[in-house]
Structure 1
C-alpha cells in the first residue's frame, strides 16, 4: 500500500494545478523551460546538468507564489508597508503569434523581449507576469534581506507591535536592493565564467535554433540549444526567423577576459 503522505502530495498537486490555472486565466505568463546548471568536477573541469521542469518543481514554485500572494493580501488589507513586488503590464504577442512559435524557449523569448523590469515598493502593486494583483516575496528570509524585512513587518503586526513606517521601510529597502543588485551582478559574472569555461572545454559545434534578434543591425541574435538548455548570443545568418535550425561554432573564448565569440550557420 502507498504511504498516506502520497495522498497528501496528490491533493497538494491538484490544488497547485488549480491555482496555476487561475493565475493563467488572470494573465500570468508561463515561461517554463529546462535550465542549465554548471558545477566544478574533480580535475578542474566544469560539468553541465540540465534541470527539467517536473511536477515537483512546479508544485513548489506555485506554493511560493501562493505564499507571496497571501502575504501581499494581508498587507493590503491592513494597510501594512511591505516590500511589494510589481511589474507593469506589457504588450505581448497575440495568442495567434505565439501559437506559431514552438513552445518553450522560442515562445518564451518572444514574451521576455516585451516584459518590463519588476520593481519593489512599499505599497501594493500588480505583478503582470505572475498574474497577481498583489505579491510579496517571503519564502527566503535567510537568502534575501527583503524577505526578512517582510517577516519582521508581518510578525510585528500580528503581535500588535510597532511596525516600520513607509519612509523607514523604504530606507532599508534602498540599502537591501543595492546589495542585492551587487550580489546579482557577481552571480552573473560567476555564471558567465563557468559558461565560458565549459564552452572552452567542449569546443562544439552545437545544434540549436534561432530565438530572436538582440541587435539585428549587427547580426547579433539569440540561439537556443535544447540538449544543453543554453541560450547563447551569437552572430546569426541574415533574415533568421524564430525556430530556424542552426549550427553554432566557437570562434574565440577566454574565460579570464570574459571574451566569447560564437557564429551560427543554417543547419
Structure 2
C-alpha cells in the first residue's frame, strides 16, 4: 500500500527532497556531544506514507461532512529545467518550494502530490493536529464544532508557538554542534558545493547537517567535494567559519 501511494503521489507531481540529517546527543554527566547520521529505513518510509494517507483521509472526511477543518495546502513550485544532480540538485529543489498554508478551504498540496490534505497524526506535539482531532471527535459525538474563526485563531496562535519552538531548536542544535567541534579540535570533514550563485559558494557539510559559505578555488563545480577544517568558532554568537584543507 505504501509503495503504491508513493507512485500515485509521484504521478500527481510530488517532489521528494532528501537532505543530510543528523542526530545530536549529549551525555548528561560529561556533556560529551555525539553527532551521528540519521538514516531512514524502509520501515520509516512506510510509516510516512501511512501518515499521509491518514491526513488525506481525514481531510476528505471533513470536507464531505462540511466540518470546519485545518486543511494544509502548498502551491506548486517553479522548478527550473537545469536542476543539477546530487546534493546540489536537492538544495536547488528545496529553494524552489513554496511555503505551506493552513486554511478552512481545501487546496492542492503540490509538494506531496495530494488534492486534499491535513496533518492529523501528531496531536501530542502539533497543536494543529490536536485541533483536527477536536473537530473530528466533536462531529462523531454530535457535539458543537469550533467555528471557522475560532479554529483559525487557535491555529494561528499555535503556529506562532511552533515557529518559536523551531527557532529555539535550530539554535540549540547549532550550539551543541559547535560544542562538538570545540570538543574535537582536530576535526576534519567533507563539504559539498551546492550553490555558486552568491558572493561566496555555499557548501553543505553532511556529517554535521549544516551549510556554510566558504571561499574556494574558482574551478570548484557543483557537487564537488572538498576537505575542510574549523577556522574560527564564536559560541556565544552561534557562528563558525571553515576553511579548505590543502
Match of 2:48 in 1: 61
Q: Does 2:204 align with 1:223?
A: yes
The answer to whether the 8 A contact 2:54-2:120 is kept is yes
**Alpha-carbon distance change, 34 to 164 in structure 1, aligned in 2, over 3 angstroms:** same
Q: Pick one of 80, 96, 100 that aligns with 1:93.
A: 80
Runs of 4+ in 1 over 4 A off after TM superposition: none
Per-residue deviation at 1:167? 0.9
Per-residue deviation at 1:33? 4.6
- Secondary structure of the corresponding residue to residue 126 of structure 1: coil
Q: How many residues align?
A: 243
- Secondary structure of the corresponding residue to residue 113 of structure 1: helix
Aligned counterparts of 1:239 and 1:113: Cα–Cα separation in 2 = 24
Deviations 1:193-251 (A, max 9, x none): 111112222342212321124x612x1513243xx262321313246432112122211
Unaligned runs of 5+ in 1: 1-14
Deviations 1:100-122 (A, max 9, x none): 512xx333112001111112222
The answer to whether the 8 A contact 2:193-2:201 is kept is no
Per-residue deviation at 1:38? 0.4
Q: Pick one of 127, 144, 152 that aligns with 1:170.
A: 152
Match of 1:250 in 2: 230
Compute the TM-score of the two structures, normalised by the length of structure 1.
Answer: 0.84
Larger relative contact order, structure 1 or 2 (CA cutoff 8 Å, min sep 6): 2
Per-residue deviation at 1:264? 4.0
Pairing 1:84-163 to 2, within 5 Å after superposition = 84-94=71-81, 97-98=82-83, 100-102=84-86, 105-163=87-145
**Alpha-carbon distance change, 62 to 236 in structure 1, aligned in 2, over 3 angstroms:** farther
- Secondary structure of the corresponding residue to residue 82 of structure 1: coil
Q: Pick one of 33, 38, 53 that aligns with 1:46.
A: 33
Compute the TM-score of the two structures, normalised by the length of structure 2.
Answer: 0.90
**Alpha-carbon distance change, 185 to 33 in structure 1, aligned in 2, over 3 angstroms:** closer
Deviates more, 1:202-211 or 1:110-119: 202-211
The answer to whether the 8 A contact 1:46-1:197 is kept is yes
Q: Does 2:190 align with 1:207?
A: yes
The answer to whether the 8 A contact 1:250-1:261 is kept is yes
**Alpha-carbon distance change, 236 to 73 in structure 1, aligned in 2, over 3 angstroms:** farther
**Alpha-carbon distance change, 106 to 164 in structure 1, aligned in 2, over 3 angstroms:** same
Aligned counterparts of 1:161 and 1:255: Cα–Cα separation in 2 = 53
Match of 1:236 in 2: 215
